Each structure stands twice: as C-alpha cells, then as structure tokens.
C-alpha cells in the first residue's frame, strides 16, 4: 500500500511506534480489523466492539504473519511491531484519509435515504465499461466500513465508487473528509433516521455534508424529481446535474415499460442523444438509479453505448431485491433494510407478479416520533396494491397490520409478534407457487426468513 509504512501510520494517527526500524519503513500489504482475514504483511487494527475485543486476537494475528498491530493498550508479550493510539476507530479514519490522498484516482460518493446500494451497483457497472473500478462491498458505508473500502484501493484502480451512509449530523462531514469525492451523488431525501434528523429538512442538511470536502473541480448529480434536492442550487461554484423522469431534467427517461419481475424498459435521454435500455432488475426506482448512472457515466467521459452496456450487465445482490427460485416458488430477498419509501417501491414490484403475492414485512426502525403512522401508511399501501397475503412481524408492524385490515384490499392479513413466532407459522402460511417478498429493517434479521423459505 503506497506510503503506508508503520512509522508513517504512527505519525498520521498521532500514535507511538514500537518495533524494529526495518519493519517500520516497510510498506504494509493490507489493513484489516478482522483477525480471520489477517495475513502475511498486513496491519491489524484492534477495535473493541459490542461483542468482541480485537485486542484479544493480537497473538493470533502475529502468528499469521501480521507486520504490525494498531491497538489502544500494550499487548501482552507482543511478538511483532505495534502502534499504540488513543482510539483505534479514530486511527482507522486518519489512516484512510491519508491513504486516499496518496492515490491518483477519482471518487464517486453516493448517499441518499433510499437506493444507495442499488445506485452504487449500477454506477459501478457502467463505469466498468471504461475504467478499472473498485466499489463498496455490501453496505460498508459508515465510519468503519468506508475506511475499510478505501484500504482496498490500489494504484491500478482508476475510480472508486463509494457508498456513504449516516444516521446523524456530522457523520457525513467526516465521511466526506475521508472520501474527498470528485462526484457527489444524492439519490433522494426520504423519511429515515428521523429519530436523530427529525424531518426531511434535517435529512437534507445531513446528506448535504457530502459537499464539505468535494474536490475543487467536483461534480454534483442529484435526483431532480425529489422536491428537496430539486431546490439545491449552486454549491461551491458547481451547478448540479439533475436526473429524473421529467423532460426538464438534463438526464431523463420516458417510454417506461415495466416487464414485471423481468425488469423494466425505458428510453434514456442525455443531451441530444437517447437510447433504449432493458434494466434487468424490476421496479420504477431502478429507472432513477439507471439515470443517476447515466449522468455519472456521461460526466466521466463514457459514450451512451458504454452506458447502455453497463446498465444491461447489472446483476442483483443478496438482500437487495435478489430473486431466488425454489421450485415454483419465487422469493424476493429484499431484507437488508427498509423504510417507508423502499417498502412501497418493493410492493409496487410485487403486485406485478403473475402468481399469488405474499409480503412478509417487518418493523422499520429509526423513524422517530411518527413511526406508528409511517407503519400504518405502508399497511394501507399494501392494501391498495391488492397483496394477497400480508404477514406483518414485530411490535411496530402491528400498526401496519391494523391499517391494512381497515383499508381492505388484502385477502389475508396476519400479524405475528416476533421473528421466532414467524419462523414457526410461516411454513403453514405460504404455498409452493407463491411469489414472496421479504423485507424489514436490518435489525429484524429477516435473512433467517429467506433461509427458511429457501429450505422449504
């Protein structure tokens, strides 16, 4: 890793290096916080988590050949070099900021209330038509995950596509300081993390911190169909590039043709050029994601042919509208996370299924004081879409179930109190040829539901 020697790292982090001079001036091979991934020449950062303390694994990482360890206290009988710091988490951020500055790459930073991961995937797929791209794996998008993604960058990479997620004010400022984005993308401003951000205006302020460390020649790509984002004007002398489904946007789509669970077709217009494209993942929201990718691709020198090719090569991710066929049953694994906007978007897709539709929905967290009404809103929406069987799980989802029953539209509505009870009753509720949507906030652990359905 370029210029990442233990001595330089100690200097960057304000730490104290303990070890040989030879080791201190040798560049490390990789950085990890997971002792299981420790390897020859790596730097292991010992982080104290809720369940485990990385300091307990220092002996084992030295056995695996770690070049150095960053830790908050002196290891017992250290068998290798180590750097003592006040805070391992802060050291990780300091290292990532320094390392990012060493690399001659462009960074696309992506944030927003909904669709960060899917937008990141489309943008990375498009840019890969021309550049060597590294992207965030999964949802490594917070103050620990983003640095770990940055540490995966190497000199051969030309572009990094980084997802940036937050839940409170100040977090995006710190993430932007690490990423130093050349292109800032905001997908939308929705109702999430309201426990801390209070309302959509607060969400906008927090997300807009992505501009704090934008590069001087940076570019801004915004969803012009979002009422909050469409009001954003010049930022640091940069005029945003807006995308949307209205013809007034610089990048827009029309001739939108849903093809059920096979995806969605549309025609994308970029300046004087346009092209038809088949987006392989269903949902109207995927049109917006493709438009964002088009805006980024065009701004970074891709042709419309390359953009089209990149969009059509897109593949779904586990937990993000990933479709699993189990005999005649189709499971839509969208269980990674949820908020009212994404719940409704997923129900929009489910309603187009040709067979009996089942929505297994769970609690949505961090919605603030309006959490009950927001769950009721989703219940009413499920009824409006005529979902055949709605299964609501969790304390908050009782409001969803009650609202769905009152609204009518669903043939059957079931509420179960918790995941354990859901796992007991679900096999008796579903049928072998159902199309089943599984969605809830990550803390509900609905990946277990997907596993159960996959084994029926």
Domain boundary among 254, 283, 312: 312
Q: Which of 345, 352, 323 is nearest to 260 (CA)?
A: 352
Q: Give the DSSP per-residue string, 377-414.
A: HHHHHHHHTT-SEEEEESSTHHHHHHHHHHH---SEEE
| pLDDT the model gives residue 61 | 94
- pLDDT band of residue 76 (cuts 50, 70, 90) is confident
- 10 Å CB burial of residue 283 (0-12, 13-18, 19+) is buried
In this structure, is residue 96 part of a structural domain? Answer: no
Are 59 and 108 members of one domain?
Answer: no
Are 299 and 340 members of one domain?
Answer: no
Are 240 and 352 members of one domain?
Answer: no
pLDDT digits (tens, 9 = 90+) for 271-280: 899 999 999 8
| pLDDT the model gives residue 349 | 85
Give the C-alpha separation, 111 to 223, whole Å. Answer: 11
Are 297 and 154 members of one domain?
Answer: yes
pLDDT at 317 over 70: no
Query: And the tokens for 341?
Result: 């906007």
Domain of residue 26, CATH code: 3.40.1390.10
Please, how many CA atoms are within 13 Å of residue 20, restricted to the half-sphere of its CB?
7
Are 233 and 373 members of one domain?
Answer: no
| pLDDT the model gives residue 82 | 94
Give the C-alpha separation, 43 to 66, whole Å. Answer: 6
Give the C-alpha separation, 289 to 287, whole Å. Answer: 5
Are 243 and 115 members of one domain?
Answer: yes
Query: And the tokens for 359?
Result: 């929505």
Are 306 and 415 members of one domain?
Answer: no
Are 199 and 340 members of one domain?
Answer: no
Mean pLDDT of 380-398: 96
* Residues 6+ positions from 409 with CB-CB distance below 8 Å: 382, 383, 384, 385, 386, 387
The whole model's pTM is what? Answer: 0.79
Domain boundary among 312, 342, 372: 312
Place of tokens 């067979």: 355
In this structure, is residue 317 part of a structural domain? Answer: no
- 10 Å CB burial of residue 452 (0-12, 13-18, 19+) is middle
Mean pLDDT of 39-67: 92
Strand segments (E) across 40-196: 42-45, 68-71, 81-84, 106-111, 133-135, 159-163, 183-186
Domain count for the chain, please give it: 3
Containing domain of residue 42, as a range? 6-90
């Amino acid at each position: 890793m370029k210029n990442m020697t233990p001595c330089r790292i100690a200097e960057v982090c304000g730490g104290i290096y303990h070890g040989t001079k030879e080791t201190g001036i040798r560049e490390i091979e990789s950085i990890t916080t997971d002792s299981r991934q420790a390897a020859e020449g790596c730097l292991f950062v010992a982080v104290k988590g809720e369940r485990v303390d990385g300091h307990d694994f220092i002996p084992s990482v030295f056995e695996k050949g770690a070049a150095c360890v960053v830790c908050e206290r002196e290891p017992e009988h250290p068998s290798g070099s180590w750097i003592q710091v006040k805070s391992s988490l802060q050291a990780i951020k300091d290292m990532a900021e320094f390392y990012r500055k060493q690399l001659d790459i462009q960074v696309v930073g992506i944030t927003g209330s909904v669709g960060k991961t899917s937008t990141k995937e489309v943008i990375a797929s498009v840019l890969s038509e021309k550049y060597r791209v590294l992207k965030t794996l999964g949802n490594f998008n917070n103050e620990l995950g983003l640095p770990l993604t940055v540490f995966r960058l190497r000199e051969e990479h030309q572009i990094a596509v980084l997802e940036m997620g937050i839940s409170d004010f100040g977090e995006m400022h710190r993430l932007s300081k690490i990423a130093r984005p050349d292109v800032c993308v905001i997908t939308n401003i929705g109702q999430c993390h309201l426990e801390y951000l209070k309302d959509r205006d607060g969400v906008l302020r927090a997300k807009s911190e992505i501009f704090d460390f934008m590069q001087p020649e940076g570019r801004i790509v915004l969803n012009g169909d979002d009422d909050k984002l469409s009001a954003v004007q010049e930022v640091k002398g940069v005029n945003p590039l807006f995308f949307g489904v209205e013809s007034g946007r610089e990048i827009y789509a029309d001739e939108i043709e849903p093809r059920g669970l096979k995806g969605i077709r549309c025609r994308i217009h970029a300046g004087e050029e346009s092209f038809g494209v088949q987006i392989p993942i269903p949902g109207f929201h995927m049109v917006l994601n493709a438009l964002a990718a088009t805006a980024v691709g065009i701004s970074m020198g891709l042709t419309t042919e390359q953009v089209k090719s990149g969009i059509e090569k897109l593949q779904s991710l586990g937990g993000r509208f990933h479709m699993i066929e189990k005999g005649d049953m189709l499971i839509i694994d969208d269980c990674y996370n949820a908020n009212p906007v994404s719940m409704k978007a997923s129900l929009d897709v489910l309603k187009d299924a040709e067979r009996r539709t089942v929505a297994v929905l769970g609690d949505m967290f961090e919605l603030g004081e309006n959490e009950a009404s927001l769950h009721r809103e989703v219940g009413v929406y499920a009824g409006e879409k005529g979902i055949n069987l709605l299964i609501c799980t969790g304390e908050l989802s009782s409001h969803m179930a009650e609202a769905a029953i009152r609204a009518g539209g669903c043939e059957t509505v079931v509420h179960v109190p918790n995941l354990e009870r859901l796992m007991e009753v679900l096999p008796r509720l579903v049928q072998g040829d159902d199309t089943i949507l599984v969605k809830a906030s990550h803390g509900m652990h609905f990946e277990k539901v997907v596993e159960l359905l996959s084994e029926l």
